[in-house]
Amino acid sequence: MTGLTDLTAVVTGGGTGIGRVTALMLVERGANVLVVGRREEPLADVARSHPRIAHQQADVGEEADVDQVVKAALAHGDRIDLVVNNAGAFVGGALEGVTSGQVQHLFRANVIGPTLLARAGLPHLAATRGAIVNVTSTYAQKAAPRAGHYAAAKAALESLTRSWALELAPQGIRVNAVSPGPTETGLLAASGVPAAMIETIKAREVDAIPLGRRGEPGDVARWIVALCEPGWVTGQIIGVDGGLSVR
């Protein structure tokens, strides 16, 4: 029994990677979890793993979809205590080739989606004195050639995290973020990076990380879950990156 028993959490990007492991860890600690994402099958697969996990196919960059997410969470747990904004998107490339569509996609996934879901969940989080946990990136604070707009979108989410923490503290809502380094999540493949290039990128990342390996989803998820636990922490960005941010 923990402070999460019978609480209801919404986890975006919950079908794979960090989101999936976060959902499973939350359930282990007694929470009810709604996993959200754009692909039905991975979500359904997670939901089949435990009766306290439900799923909702949705694009949280769409206001109508966000409304359905809130309804599904209330139907599943009759309350909303935790919002984990894990879903995101990556597009790499040099400045000379970037398009407005790519920039809009990055900010829609990494900034607009978390904003819409946090806003929709706000009255329920206020009622339960709940928490929001955003998932950002080491590169929000670390220069990254050919990933500048991704880094900028994640930096925006970190800024929102701190601002929301101050804004929502009078309602008892805590807002924090976890900032992962390179992690085995499939994000590179999903962004369309060729397989051969992915292996090159991974090798370079391992060379740059002081602890000598890329992260696993569980390395990050355990810190997300820790920030979901009731406590006295708000407005913080927790780096989980094998030391990459201090190199």
Q: Is residue 178 a contact partner of residue 228, using CB atoms and an 8 Å limit?
A: no
Cα torsion angle, 50, 68, 126, 108, sign: positive
Question: Is residue 66 a part of any domain in this protein?
Answer: yes
Q: Which residues of 205-240 are buried (b: 16+ CB within 10 A; e: fewer)?
A: beeebeeeebbebebbbebbbebbeeeeebbebbbb
Is the Cβ–Cβ distance between 227 and 161 less than 8 Å?
no
Confirm whether 24 is domain-assigned. Answer: yes
Residue 114: strand, helix, or coil: helix
pTM for the model: 0.95
Q: What's residue 1's pLDDT?
A: 47
In the set 150, 217, 234, 240, the catalytic residue is 150
Residue carrying structure tokens 């925006």: 156
Looking at the 3D structure of the chain, how many domains does it have? 1
Is residue 179 one of the residues assigned to a domain?
A: yes
Euclidean distance between the first and final Cα of the chain, in Å?
39
Query: Which range of residues forms the domain containing residue 229?
Result: 8-235
Alpha carbons 158 and 214: distance in angstroms, whole number: 22
Contact 24, 97 (CB under 8 A): no
The answer to the question of residue 144 being in a domain is yes
Is 139 among the catalytic positions?
Answer: no
Domain membership of residue 2 (yes or no) is no
Domain membership of residue 217 (yes or no) is yes
Q: What's the CA gap between 214 and 68, in Å, rounded? A: 35
Quick check: is 69 in a domain?
Answer: yes
**Residue 33: strand pairing partners:** 9, 53
CB count, 10 Å around CB of 65? Answer: 18
Q: What is the pLDDT of residues 50-94, one digit of tens each?
A: 999 999 999 999 999 999 999 999 999 999 999 999 999 999 889
3-state secondary structure (DSSP) of residue 150: helix
Place of tokens 């009731």: 230
Name the residue with tokens 């975006």: 12
Inter-residue contact 86 to 22 (CB < 8 Å): yes
Structure tokens belonging to residue 65: 């979809």
pLDDT at position 195 is 80
Flag whether 190 is in a domain. yes
Read off the CATH number of the domain in which 99 is found.
Answer: 3.40.50.720
Cβ atoms of 85 and 132 within 8 Å: the answer is yes
CA torsion, points 127, 30, 45, 39, in degrees to nearest 10? 20
6-43 b/e with 16+ CB inside 10 Å = b? Answer: ebbbbbbbbbbbbbbbbbbbbbebebbbbbbbbeeebb
Local confidence pLDDT in tens for the 247 residues of the chain:
478 999 999 999 999 999 999 999 999 999 999 999 999 999 999 999 999 999 999 999 999 999 999 999 999 999 999 999 999 999 988 999 999 999 999 999 999 999 999 999 999 999 999 999 999 999 999 998 999 999 999 999 999 999 999 999 999 999 999 999 999 887 777 777 778 788 888 899 999 999 999 999 999 999 999 999 999 999 999 999 999 999 8
78 backbone φψ class: left, alpha, beta (φ>0; ψ -120 to 50) = left
